[in-house]
């Protein structure tokens, strides 16, 4: 029996993807990879989450603009949010990154998502429509940042049960 290299990957549809109404196009394009979506949510990105997500780039000159971009500070309401997805399947990371295209949208294959829809802002940030984890360790770190175990419809990483006392939670009024 062949060993299947099943991987997870975090994909973010960034605020420019939402503003340009590209969500459907992007999901269709990514579906070519024949992977399984095991998590999906739309959320406002806090400054803390943005900085933690991109922490390996914190010494780059574009870090401030990058944090602003992922938080929707360039695209404004109601696009100041991202769609976060978790994909699972054989060699998921390579397959998704190939469809996403190179980081620099000017260098990306024109038929990739970034090549077709990305741009470089006047401040020099690559507004490249999607994020995709680049290796399994990064994927694990990122997925654990963006999702709780309860939001993932598969057992992907070990979990444990804890009992919380007096935790405030928002629930529907009726």
Q: Rule CB under 6 A: which residues touch ligand UDP? A: 57, 62, 66, 103, 125-126, 128, 131, 134
Burial code of 131-169, b = ≥16 C-beta within 10 A, e = fewer? bbbeeeeebbbbbeebbeeeebeeebeeeeeeeeeeeee
Annotation marks residue 75 as catalytic: no
8 binds, among Mg ion, ligand UDP, none (CB under 5 to 8 A by kind): none
Binding of Mg ion at residue 134 (CB under 5 A)? yes
Dist CA 65 CA 85 (whole Å): 23
Residue 119 structure tokens: 């741009």
Going by DSSP bridges, is the β-strand pair 126-127/6-13 parallel, antiparallel, or unpaired?
unpaired
Tell which residue, 160, 137, 19, 142, has the closest CA to residue 85.
142
Nearer to ligand UDP, 24 or 124 (CB): 124
Least separation in angstroms between residue 74's CB and ligand UDP is 11
Q: In the complex with Mg ion, which residue's Cβ is closer, 102 or 134?
A: 134
Point out the catalytic residue in the list 44, 53, 75, 131: 131
Tell me if 102 contacts Mg ion by CB under 5 A: no
Interacting residues toward Mg ion by CB under 5 A: 134
Catalytic residues, which ones?
131
């Amino acid at each position: 029996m062949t060993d299947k290299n099943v991987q997870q990957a975090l994909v973010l549809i960034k605020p420019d993807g939402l503003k340009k109404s590209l969500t459907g196009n992007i999901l269709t394009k990514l579906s070519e990879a024949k992977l399984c979506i095991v998590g999906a949510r739309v959320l406002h990105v806090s400054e803390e989450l943005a900085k933690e997500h991109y922490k390996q780039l914190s010494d780059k000159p574009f870090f401030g603009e990058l944090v602003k971009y992922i938080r929707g500070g360039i695209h404004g309401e109601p696009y100041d949010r991202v769609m976060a997805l978790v994909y699972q399947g054989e060699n998921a990371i390579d397959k998704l990154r190939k469809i996403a295209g190179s980081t620099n949208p000017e260098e990306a294959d024109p038929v990739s998502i970034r090549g077709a829809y990305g741009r470089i802002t006047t401040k020099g940030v690559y507004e490249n429509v999607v994020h995709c984890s680049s290796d399994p360790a990064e994927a694990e770190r990122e997925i654990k940042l963006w999702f709780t175990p309860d939001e993932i419809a598969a057992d992907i990483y070990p979990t444990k049960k804890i009992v919380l006392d007096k935790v405030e939670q928002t629930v529907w009024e009726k």
